[in-house]
Structure 1
Amino acid sequence: MPIPLQKLFTYKITDVEASQLTPGMRVVVPFGKSKLYTAIVENSHQLAPTAYQAKPIYQILDKSPIITKKQLQHWQWIAAYYCCTLGEVMRAALPSALLLESETLVVKNQLFNDESLLTDGEFLIFEALQHQAELKISDISNIIQRKTVVGFIQQMLNKGLIELKESLYQKYKPKLEKYVKLNPKYHNSNALNTFLNDLKKAPKQSALILQFFALNPKGTKTLVANDLLTKAQSSVAVLNALHEKEFFEVFYEPVDRIQNSDETVGLKSLSKTQQVALNHLKKAFLKHDVCLLHGVTSSGKTELYVSLIQEALKQNKQVLFLLPEIALTTQLIIRLRAYFGTSLAVFHSKYSLNERVEVWQNLMGHTEKAQIIIGARSALLLPFSNLGLIIVDEEHENSYKQFEPAPRYHARDAAIVLASIHQAKVVLGSATPSIETYYNAQKNKYALVELSERFGDGLLPKIELINLKETYKKKQMNGFFSNQLLEEIKRALSNQNQIILFQNRRGYAPIMSCTSCGVVPHCPNCDVSLTFHKLKNSLQCHYCGYSEPLVTNCKACGNATLTTQGFGTEQIVAALQELLPEVPIGRMDFDTTRGKYSYQKIINDFQLGNTKILVGTQMLSKGLDFSNVTLVGVLQADSMLNFPDFRAHEHSFQLLQQVAGRSGRSASNGRVVIQTYNPFHQILKQVQAHAYLQMYQEQLSERKQHRYPPFVRLVKIILKHKNAHTLFNASEWLAKSFAITFKDEALGPSDPPIPRIRNLYAKTFLLKFPKNQQLENSKRALLIIKDRFLAISEFKSVRFIIDVDNY
């Protein structure tokens, strides 16, 4: 069941139900006093539970399983490895439209008759129930104009005014297409002529019939009603009239919401280097199931993926293509659809619930529409039956790791396990592989294939480091732009080229402060300053979503001396519009990509040249391909390098190298300008030299010295509670337990970089387990400690989060 409980539950079924049920089917079951949940059948047996009385199931939802045995096996591995429950994996995997749940409805207690007991708000609900048999919780919230109504409903229950009931509701609704066909009795020409003669006084109906036969001369085909009405310039009323006269038969059939074109183009010819790499890949798969494809930016890795996909399809195998960002899918979908047409299906969170259900159903139905699945990490949990190839592009990306809520899995690692279950092959592609992956390749756990040159003999971009200390001292800055960066921007524009500017911070300014008293507005729910968003004229928290309008005067001292510190993408766009008013500028960050098609619009505008300069956050660094970009500017590189994380330097190298790789992807040579206060930093020098191997060796040496992955396994424990004192006591108790059980392997407790988020204080522990130690035994001991911890009454309300491989 989709609830965070470790155990499975037994329910009672009849002999008839037993004959209909098979593992993987959905049933609706009662749980607790009144709730109804969707559950997945694991197996049928004859052993009645001894601890509780088995309840009968409420309803069978499916005629056949909606999950596969191999899928369930993969879910079980995720639950076991990442220390979560099978229910949490189920909730993450199933589109919520497939998770039928009961909705609480409020109904009037017919025995209640004393209106004098009611408050004004309760009387409004009493009146509403006189006219309506039942109300949803949201209806009550709207009537009394309150966001939280739990206490209010409890008061009405105590007075006997209302009763509660649970109603099951279905979220998924198939899209139905209206079709028209000729009634078989009018296939006879005499009957048809007689009917047409009777329609002389109905010219609109006659015109519709004539158009039907123009599109369908023999009258034997079925037509889409909308197409027919559009061609005939007619209305639904005319069609309904002919349906009532039994001339047309009208019916509905479910259709997919997403329609792909059947037209495809041939695969591009591979370069000599690409062909050699492809041959090495195929040879590597004879000995290894996982292969790392380490190719520099713009080396043509995607064309190798396409060749491998085509071979998998020839063997009637399914292909899973994982990408770290939804933005990347936009460009890649266009390319892959051109090659594979209707075989491609897309699965990610920007698609509607109904669209995701249809992808799920197409996979379960083994249709040709779902031979290739492209999507973000959630696509990994789909019901594959004949998987032959998994491609994990940009495998180093942190976006593959799920942090909240559980299951906190890493899609790259879970993909390798999924491939093992299906006996499929895995390609891990990246220009800057994660240190763990490259280490595994060096140790021969994975095969390694390298593409060391760009497609078409293109050169890697020249990278220049600008010393901000010197440029500010010499007054060679224009706002946030050094004179050198500004000159490069103008040169690129004069050559009709495009520019990408990178600043890994959204909003207008990260800090708004008062110059009179020094007060900085903070979020009331989190220990962070509020970010200024000029377009909305508001201060926003990027952690909990809290927002407040900007006031001109300081709330502390009352003076109108508020000013901004730092800068985000919004302010960069504003500064550029002042400096280059005639140049069309776009912005790509979380604020501008909330809509379903917003990624596509921004990318298409830039691709078509409607936008000359694109300003964005790390979204821009992830594999996007723009042939006309010759300049990339990094406005400030230092904040990434100083982040308190053992992977900060690795991530900085990857991010800067990837964003630099957007430049010079065609025949033109690219340039990259990185502005920094520390141009002599070792990582920046390695970025400038494109020295991945040097960075890898240096970071590997440091990690070995300080005991970090890939030499140890990390498990992070996070405690959260609204009361800081309770949390302190809980962390002290846990520290003593860890010291006894894990000794020197446990570090903590410590405060995270932001100690309070959403009014919950946090403490963290880090457990380091040697690679040669059985992780299962350590996790088992950890879960025992967790159970003992939560058994203490004072700590029952403390959230105990386990994050395995938390990086």
Structure 2
Amino acid sequence: MQFFIDVILPLPLDKRFTYSVEPHEAEFLEKGMRVTVPFGKSKMYTGIVADIHQNPPEVYDAKPIHQILDKKALITEHQLKFWKWISTYYMCAEGDVLRAALPGAFLLESESTVKLITSVDAETAELNDEEYLIIEALQRQSSLKIQEVTQLLDRKNVLPVINKLVEKEMVALNQEVYEQYKPKKVRFVRLAAVHSGEAAMHKLLDELERAPKQREIVLNFFSLKAQSSKPVKVKHLLQKSNSSAAILKILIDKGFLEEYFIETDRNIYSGEAPSSELLFSEHQEKALREVKENFENDEVCLLHGITSSGKTEIYIRLIQETLEKGKQALYLLPEIALTTQLIQRLQSYFGEKVLVYHSKYSMNERVEVYRHVLENDEKGKIVIGARSAIFLPFSDLGLVVVDEEHEGTFKQFDPAPRYQARDAAVVLANSFKAKIILGSATPSLESYFNAQHHKYGLVELNRRYGDVLLPEIEIVDIKTKHKKKLMTGHFSDRLLEEIKAALKEEEQVILFQNRRGFSPILECNTCGHSPQCPNCDVSLTYHSHNNQLRCHYCGYHIAMQKKCMACDSNDITTKGFGTEQIETELKSLFPNNKIGRMDQDTTRGKYGYEKIINAFEQQEIDILVGTQMLTKGLDFRHVSLVGIMNADNLLNFPDFRAHERSFQLMLQVAGRAGRTKKRGKVLIQSYNPYHQIIQQVSTNDYAGMYKDQLEERYNYQYPPFFRLIRFTLKSRDYSKTNEASDWLAKSLGNVFKQYVLGPEFPPVARIRNEYYKNILLKIPQQQSLGKTKTVVHKIMTSFRAIGAFRSVKVIINVDPV
């Protein structure tokens, strides 16, 4: 009897592929296991078993699998269903979801290896120097990977050399699959068994009388053993005895000490014992009660709590109750920067039950978190992470918390799947019949709309914890200040006055400018030319710390120009300003104070965020300048003043969500001020102080903003009244992009009539030498989403069948942000 399996491959393919398996293999296999399978002429891939059956494929002969990689399933049934939903809803391949969902170490891929054909005599063959080097190396070791040959010959393209050796039948090319995950092993030492008695120990010390450094290591080893029953780490022993690894090696070689290794976790909590003290205000108690009441009727509850109202404590209490029921909890955050503060808070309550999962963690760390969650052991009960944490293999999820649910960073942009983690989390929770709470001080219009229409439960928490007052918000008209010559650089006299007052009181200041770099435009005053990126349609941004002009889209950079590139004039100036320029100005205005900067340039690396946040918390930084990273729910106790440097560049953006987003950003950054007894202050600098959104921010009028924006969305047919699908076409050929987008827009227009907008060029129409064009499809509420996507699929199949458009790539983005 013949058995077959359907496999999901980590490739953007529209369907699963079928492979044949032996009856005994079919008996052992289960859904969710990994298998390596041949695909194409010579490639090997790791696939996931999605189904086991007895129906042979009709169009092709099923190839046999190469090997089974797991003893038990790595992917749960829940995950497979969830992947299917994501690929269907967000219109992408299951292979794309697989790539996003699994840490890369689980996805083995073939890599060519070169092996020597044993019957070869290298001495008699005619070889050039490079070929001889390869053969000589292969005589010393069984095989070489392509990258090892590259290092050996110190040249990039080694394939021609290897091909010549293959033609001469001296070497063979094999496709070999290799495992990437390596467990972390810690090196320990113990006393050799022969020296374990007391007499033997004294004899050993006498023997080492003439080797004082070796004797020192042994004495320190005994003292460490006396202090603790734990095994002795090599690292600790060397530190304590202030010795080198070479001396320790002598002791091991002599047989006095033995070394051994123990596999250990990379994610280890090393803190104090957890505390369970949670003091609630009566408003928090009331909100918690209401959340639980809502949970009885609805699975989803929206918690609209103003900044610093104590939403995190409510989440902690809910997580605690979930753990008591023996279930798992997932805490989603929009930004890695936030995890550092929250991990500490959660660990102080739950100790080592808290696992962290996000992209700044190494591959091996993510593999370990994945395994803990899969095994649902004590360490895998609470996961705190960025959007990709929704893909972890939960088996008994009881609660999902989506903090700062309005954030755009919950939406994945590239590569596919372009999912919205908040919406996907609602579906994930629903599949486990788990409860989900969405929290924000400024909820997204869509979530608030759902709550108003009783799709979600709604709980309001409108008092700050400890009855701390909301900050006082003042708007500064910089147009008038410029006329009256009251500006110093980009600072108005009012802002400088307030900064000086705050610093005098030994309090901290946050300044917000949503643009990194020193200055976005360098302009010649003689001819008006500004240096542009050769690969993208944007001007280069000036970064002063390395004196470079840099493109924020493709990374192209050149040295700062001393004179105009077009007319050789020396009269060049910078226009606009970024965080770097604010930092430079502050250093000259406040030379005695410590200035910090937090943006994409300063937070690279795994601990980049942590260092800056910790320094600011410990008051090592007096003034912190930053981009939107600062607006997320960070809790700083000593900030009394927040300055928004220029509110206008947030508002004047060509996007239907611009006003909602700028309201959220400004109110969120304002919420960082005055989180203790003293009332904080917020200054908003603007050329247009009477703008409706700025006025609504100053009075904290979320309801007014919601009402106005909802009316506009209704009039212009945007979410939450209409669903959107955006098609982005890109190619290196300008006319091909135009032709393809016209064809696609016309085909969509034949079916969907007036609901197709475009094609049109986006604000930045060329990135990395590729031309972009957008088409927007609007879907009214009464129209079936499933049927719409079926039609889109058919149109896309016809589009891909046209040979002329083969080079044009189409990106489908469902619910674009």
Instruction: Give TM-score scaled by structure 2 length.
Output: 0.92
In structure 2, the residue corresponding to 1:700 is in which secondary structure? helix
Pair 495,545 (structure 1): closer, same or farther in 2 beyond 3 Å:
same
Paired amino acid for 2:208: A
Q: Which residue of the other structure, out of 356, 362, 385, is the alignment partner of 1:346?
A: 356
Pair 250,15 (structure 1): closer, same or farther in 2 beyond 3 Å:
farther
The separation in 2 between residues aligned to 1:198 and 1:512, in whole angstroms, is 74
- The answer to whether structure 1 residue 757 and structure 2 residue 767 are counterparts is yes
The separation in 2 between residues aligned to 1:560 and 1:142, in whole angstroms, is 49
In structure 1, the residue corresponding to 2:585 is in which secondary structure? helix
Which residue is 1:537 aligned to?
547
In structure 2, the residue corresponding to 1:286 is in which secondary structure? helix
Which residue is 2:309 aligned to?
299
Which residue is 2:82 aligned to?
74
Pair 326,195 (structure 1): closer, same or farther in 2 beyond 3 Å:
closer
- The answer to whether structure 1 residue 103 and structure 2 residue 111 are counterparts is yes
The separation in 2 between residues aligned to 1:302 and 1:615, in whole angstroms, is 25
Which residue is 1:607 aligned to?
617
Q: Is the 8 A contact 1:24 1:65 kept in 2?
A: yes
Which residue is 1:705 aligned to?
715
Which residue is 1:587 aligned to?
597
In structure 2, the residue corresponding to 1:572 is in which secondary structure? helix
Residue by residue, what CA displacement relative to the aligned partner does 1:375-433 show, whole Å, maximum 9, x if unpaired? 11011111111111111000000000011110000000000000011111111000000
The aligned runs of 1:268-417 (5 Å cut-off) are: 268-417=278-427
Q: Which residue of the other structure, out of 252, 256, 264, is the alignment partner of 2:261?
A: 252
- The answer to whether structure 1 residue 21 and structure 2 residue 26 are counterparts is no
- Superposition deviation, residue 519 in structure 1: 1.4
Which residue is 2:137 aligned to?
132
Q: Is the 8 A contact 2:35 2:65 kept in 1?
A: yes
Residue by residue, what CA displacement relative to the aligned partner does 1:433-480 show, whole Å, maximum 9, x if unpaired? 000000111111111111111111111111111112111111111110
Paired amino acid for 2:804: E
The separation in 2 between residues aligned to 1:198 and 1:155, in whole angstroms, is 59
Paired amino acid for 1:296: I
Q: Which residue of the other structure, out of 666, 670, 676, is the alignment partner of 1:660?
A: 670
Pair 143,615 (structure 1): closer, same or farther in 2 beyond 3 Å:
farther
Q: Which residue of the other structure, out of 199, 223, 227, is the alignment partner of 1:193?
A: 199
The separation in 2 between residues aligned to 1:801 and 1:198, in whole angstroms, is 72
The aligned runs of 1:667-746 (5 Å cut-off) are: 667-746=677-756
Residue by residue, what CA displacement relative to the aligned partner does 1:209-258 show, whole Å, maximum 9, x if unpaired? 66666555799975444445555667666766776777766432210112
In structure 2, the residue corresponding to 1:44 is in which secondary structure? strand
Q: Is the 8 A contact 1:213 1:219 kept in 2?
A: no
The separation in 1 between residues aligned to 2:548 and 2:153, in whole angstroms, is 29
Q: Which residue of the other structure, out of 506, 514, 517, is the alignment partner of 2:527?
A: 517
Q: Is the 8 A contact 1:300 1:454 kept in 2?
A: yes
The separation in 1 between residues aligned to 2:224 and 2:617, in whole angstroms, is 39
- Superposition deviation, residue 554 in structure 1: 2.0
- Superposition deviation, residue 765 in structure 1: 0.9
Aligned length: 796
The separation in 1 between residues aligned to 2:601 and 2:95, in whole angstroms, is 32
Which residue is 2:505 aligned to?
495
In structure 2, the residue corresponding to 1:769 is in which secondary structure? strand
Pair 155,14 (structure 1): closer, same or farther in 2 beyond 3 Å:
closer
In structure 2, the residue corresponding to 1:766 is in which secondary structure? strand
Which residue is 2:208 aligned to?
202
Pair 805,160 (structure 1): closer, same or farther in 2 beyond 3 Å:
farther
Q: Which residue of the other structure, out of 418, 429, 439, is the alignment partner of 1:429?
A: 439
Residue by residue, what CA displacement relative to the aligned partner does 1:128-169 show, whole Å, maximum 9, x if unpaired? 4344344625864995766xx599789979998997543323
The separation in 1 between residues aligned to 2:642 and 2:229, in whole angstroms, is 60
Paired amino acid for 2:536: C
Paired amino acid for 2:622: K
- The answer to whether structure 1 residue 31 and structure 2 residue 43 are counterparts is no
The separation in 2 between residues aligned to 1:613 and 1:194, in whole angstroms, is 63
Q: Is the 8 A contact 2:79 2:391 kept in 1?
A: yes
Which residue is 2:569 aligned to?
559
- The answer to whether structure 1 residue 438 and structure 2 residue 448 are counterparts is yes
Pair 269,221 (structure 1): closer, same or farther in 2 beyond 3 Å:
closer
In structure 1, the residue corresponding to 2:50 is in which secondary structure? coil
In structure 2, the residue corresponding to 1:11 is in which secondary structure? strand
Paired amino acid for 2:76: T
Which residue is 2:656 aligned to?
646
Unaligned runs of 5+ in 2: 1-8, 139-143
The separation in 2 between residues aligned to 1:578 and 1:218, in whole angstroms, is 53
- Superposition deviation, residue 12 in structure 1: 2.4
In structure 2, the residue corresponding to 1:493 is in which secondary structure? helix
In structure 2, the residue corresponding to 1:388 is in which secondary structure? strand
Pair 196,43 (structure 1): closer, same or farther in 2 beyond 3 Å:
farther
Greater CA drift, 12-21 or 790-799: 12-21
In structure 2, the residue corresponding to 1:132 is in which secondary structure? helix
Greater CA drift, 260-269 or 89-98: 260-269
- Superposition deviation, residue 771 in structure 1: 1.6
Q: Is the 8 A contact 2:111 2:145 kept in 1?
A: no
Which residue is 2:785 aligned to?
775
In structure 2, the residue corresponding to 1:40 is in which secondary structure? strand
Which residue is 1:453 aligned to?
463
Which residue is 1:8 aligned to?
16
Greater CA drift, 322-331 or 6-15: 6-15
The separation in 1 between residues aligned to 2:151 and 2:770, in whole angstroms, is 26
- The answer to whether structure 1 residue 573 and structure 2 residue 578 are counterparts is no
Paired amino acid for 2:263: P
Residue by residue, what CA displacement relative to the aligned partner does 1:620-660 show, whole Å, maximum 9, x if unpaired? 10111111111111111111111111111100100011011
Pair 219,395 (structure 1): closer, same or farther in 2 beyond 3 Å:
closer
The separation in 2 between residues aligned to 1:65 and 1:560, in whole angstroms, is 67
- Superposition deviation, residue 555 in structure 1: 2.0
Paired amino acid for 2:638: N
Which residue is 1:171 aligned to?
180
Pair 522,232 (structure 1): closer, same or farther in 2 beyond 3 Å:
closer
Pair 127,640 (structure 1): closer, same or farther in 2 beyond 3 Å:
farther
Paired amino acid for 2:137: Q
Paired amino acid for 2:110: S
Q: Which residue of the other structure, out of 263, 267, 277, is the alignment partner of 1:267?
A: 277
Q: Is the 8 A contact 1:454 1:460 kept in 2?
A: yes
- Superposition deviation, residue 562 in structure 1: 2.5
The separation in 2 between residues aligned to 1:231 and 1:667, in whole angstroms, is 46
Unaligned runs of 5+ in 1: none
The separation in 2 between residues aligned to 1:251 and 1:74, in whole angstroms, is 43
Which residue is 1:620 aligned to?
630
Percent identical pairs in the alignment equals: 51
Paired amino acid for 2:262: E
Pair 694,124 (structure 1): closer, same or farther in 2 beyond 3 Å:
farther
Q: Is the 8 A contact 2:405 2:443 kept in 1?
A: yes
The separation in 1 between residues aligned to 2:750 and 2:581, in whole angstroms, is 52
Q: Is the 8 A contact 1:182 1:220 kept in 2?
A: no
In structure 2, the residue corresponding to 1:43 is in which secondary structure? strand
Pair 642,759 (structure 1): closer, same or farther in 2 beyond 3 Å:
same
Q: Is the 8 A contact 2:401 2:436 kept in 1?
A: yes
Residue by residue, what CA displacement relative to the aligned partner does 1:683-729 show, whole Å, maximum 9, x if unpaired? 11100110000000111111111111111111111111110111111
Which residue is 1:468 aligned to?
478
Pair 294,250 (structure 1): closer, same or farther in 2 beyond 3 Å:
same
- Superposition deviation, residue 804 in structure 1: 0.6
- Superposition deviation, residue 603 in structure 1: 0.6
